[in-house]
C-alpha cells in the first residue's frame, strides 16, 4: 500500500517541467505549492502526467476516488485492476503517472521508511477517473521487490522514465508493465539508519 509520498519540484528538471505544464493547463492560481511541494497525503491535489492524444501533459488531480460508504480508495492492485468494474474504464484509457521524489511505507511496528531512486524522480503508475467534475487518481500497487519486501507486503508499481509514454499511450504496453517487477530502490529508515538493498 502507498499512503503517502513526497513531491519536490526543486529535486529535478523533470519535476519543474511538470509543474510548468500543470500551471499552463490549470492556471497559476490552481496550484497550491504548500501542498504539492513536500508530503502528499490522500485527498490532496497533486501533479500527474496524462496523455492528450500522443502528447504527455501535466494535470492537477485529487488523490483518491470515493468508494462505498464514503471510503476513499487511494490504491488499486495491479494484479486485479483489469478485472474490477470500478477500474476497467480507467485502466483501458485513463492511465496516469504520478511523479514523486520518494514514497513512504511503514513496517509492522509502524516505523516509517522512505524509498527513493537517488538522483532521479520516481514515476508511479496510476489510473484516474472524473468524479463530480474532478479528476481523481489512485496509485497502482504490486508485490514488493527485494528493496521493500522486508518492510511491507505491497509497494507502488514504479516505472522507468522511458516507460512513461508507453504506459500512458499504448494499452498493450500498459498490460505488460502491470506484470513487471519494479526496479530496486534505496531505503532509508526515518530514525536515521540507512539500509541499502
pLDDT of 69:
82
Find all residues with CB under 8 Å of 142, minimum gap 6, and list them: 77, 78, 79, 154, 155, 156, 157, 178, 181, 182
Q: Which residue is listed with cell 489512485?
A: 138
pLDDT of 35:
45
Domains in the chain: how many in total? 1
Q: Quick one: cell of 150?
A: 522486508
CATH number at residue 112: 3.90.1680.10
Q: Quick one: cell of 120?
A: 532521479
Domain range enclosing 62: 5-196
Closest by CA to 32, choosing from 125, 131, 15, 40, is: 40
Task: Collapse the DSSP code of 171 into the 3-class scheme (helix H, G, I; strand E, B; otherwise coil) and give the result.
Answer: helix
pLDDT of 194:
41
Compute mean pLDDT per 10 residues along the chain, 197 residues long, and list them: 86 90 74 63 94 92 90 96 93 96 92 93 97 95 94 95 97 95 90 47
Amino acid at each position: 500500500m502507498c499512503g503517502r509520498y513526497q513531491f519536490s519540484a526543486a529535486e529535478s528538471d523533470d519535476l519543474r517541467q511538470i509543474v510548468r505544464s500543470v500551471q499552463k493547463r490549470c492556471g497559476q492560481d490552481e496550484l497550491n505549492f504548500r501542498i504539492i511541494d513536500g508530503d502528499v497525503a490522500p485527498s490532496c491535489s497533486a501533479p500527474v502526467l496524462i496523455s492528450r492524444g500522443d502528447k504527455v501533459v501535466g494535470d492537477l488531480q485529487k488523490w483518491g476516488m470515493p468508494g462505498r460508504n464514503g471510503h476513499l480508495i487511494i490504491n488499486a492492485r495491479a494484479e486485479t485492476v483489469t478485472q474490477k468494474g470500478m477500474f476497467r474504464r480507467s485502466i483501458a484509457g485513463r492511465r496516469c503517472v504520478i511523479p514523486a521524489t520518494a514514497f513512504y511505507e511503514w513496517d509492522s511496528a509502524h516505523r516509517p521508511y522512505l524509498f527513493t531512486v537517488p538522483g532521479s524522480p520516481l514515476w508511479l503508475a496510476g489510473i484516474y477517473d472524473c468524479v463530480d467534475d474532478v479528476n481523481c487518481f489512485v496509485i497502482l500497487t504490486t508485490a514488493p521487490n527485494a528493496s521493500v519486501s522486508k518492510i511491507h507486503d505491497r509497494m507502488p508499481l514504479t516505472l522507468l522514465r522511458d516507460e512513461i509514454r508507453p504506459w500512458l499511450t499504448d494499452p498493450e504496453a500498459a498490460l505488460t508493465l502491470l506484470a513487471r517487477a519494479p526496479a530496486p530502490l534505496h531505503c532509508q529508515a526515518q530514525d536515521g539508519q540507512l539500509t541499502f538493498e
